[in-house]
């Protein structure tokens, strides 16, 4: 009996670090969350229809709205749960799909160029920029922020997110595994 107890206790910390999603009972959308070394990162699926409704209401054309709705989009929350200031830069984050090299997230500047090229009105471009997770931010203990992040991953497919931050003069990294893009029926 003692041996079984020790085995279960030894396995518990690994289970606690799992990034298994929670599912919202009303929407069916999934959230992946991890907390490690003073940072909490949470990704919640945003459905293509939610994207369409949000951006059409802000002055995007149907064509531009559909361009973003084809992306794998998440509401992303970053929270400082530690006791020292931390800094994140999205340029240091990577996502990995099976059989592909790590990729960087498309930043606000790349989207701004895309929207300007497609003739999206300035007011709609500003709304888009404000809805995205800041590309870099410093968080005091207890601070948090949220915004959209997007990934060029097909609907229903999975990826691993590798995130990086600095705290106390050191660089740290964490991972959310098997994050799944919302499918078209979400």
Instruction: Give Dmax over CA atoms of the chain in angstroms.
Output: 69
17 occurs within a structural domain = no
Whole domain around residue 158: which residue ranges? Answer: 27-180
Q: Average pLDDT of 44-66?
A: 96
11 occurs within a structural domain = no
2 occurs within a structural domain = no
Given the structure tokens 């929207």, which residue do they identify?
A: 115
Q: Average pLDDT of 51-55?
A: 96
20 occurs within a structural domain = no
21 occurs within a structural domain = no
19 occurs within a structural domain = no
The HSE-up count of residue 33 (CA atoms within 13 Å, CB side) is: 12
**pLDDT on residue 6:** 32
CA–CA distance, 33 with 81 (Å, rounded to integer)? 13
Span 12-48, pLDDT tens digits: 333 334 458 999 888 889 999 999 999 999 999 999 9
CA–CA distance, 55 with 104 (Å, rounded to integer)? 24
Least-confidence region, from 15-19, 113-117, 135-139: 15-19
- Which spans in the chain are helix H? 2-16, 48-56, 62-69, 108-117, 122-131
Pair 158, 176: CB distance under 8 Å: no
Q: Look up residue 28 and give its DSSP letter.
A: -
Q: Look up residue 112 and give its DSSP letter.
A: H
Token pair recorded at residue 25: 């009972």
- Tell me how many domains the chain contains: 1
18 occurs within a structural domain = no
Span 85-106, pLDDT tens digits: 999 999 999 999 998 999 999 9
**pLDDT on residue 186:** 62
53 occurs within a structural domain = yes
Strands (E), 37-93: 39-46, 72-80, 86-89
Q: How confident is the model at residue 9 (pLDDT cuts 50, 70, 90)?
A: very low
Q: Tell me how far CA of residue 88 lies from CA of 43, 103, 111, 152, in angstroms.
A: 15, 17, 20, 21
Residue percentage of the chain with pLDDT more than 90: 83
Quick check: 184 pLDDT over 90?
A: no
> Global pTM?
0.87
CA–CA distance, 70 with 81 (Å, rounded to integer)? 33
CATH code of the domain containing 176: 2.60.40
């Amino acid at each position: 009996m003692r041996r079984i107890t020790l085995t279960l206790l030894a396995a518990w910390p690994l289970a606690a670090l799992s990034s298994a999603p929670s599912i919202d009972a009303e929407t069916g959308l999934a959230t992946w969350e991890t907390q490690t070394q003073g940072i909490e990162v949470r990704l919640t699926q945003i459905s293509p229809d939610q994207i369409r409704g949000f951006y059409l209401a802000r002055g995007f054309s149907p064509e531009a709205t559909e361009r973003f709705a084809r992306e794998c989009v998440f509401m992303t929350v970053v929270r400082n749960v530690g006791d020292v200031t931390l800094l994140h830069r999205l340029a240091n984050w990577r996502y990995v799909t099976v059989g592909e090299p790590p990729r960087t997230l498309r930043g606000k500047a790349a989207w701004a160029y895309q929207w300007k090229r497609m003739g999206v009105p300035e007011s709609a471009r500003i709304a888009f920029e404000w809805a995205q997770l800041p590309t870099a931010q410093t968080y005091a203990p207890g601070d948090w922020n949220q915004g959209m992040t997007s990934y060029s991953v097909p609907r229903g497919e999975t990826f691993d997110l590798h995130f990086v931050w600095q705290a106390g003069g050191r660089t740290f990294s964490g991972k959310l595994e098997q994050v799944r893009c919302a499918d078209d029926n979400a």
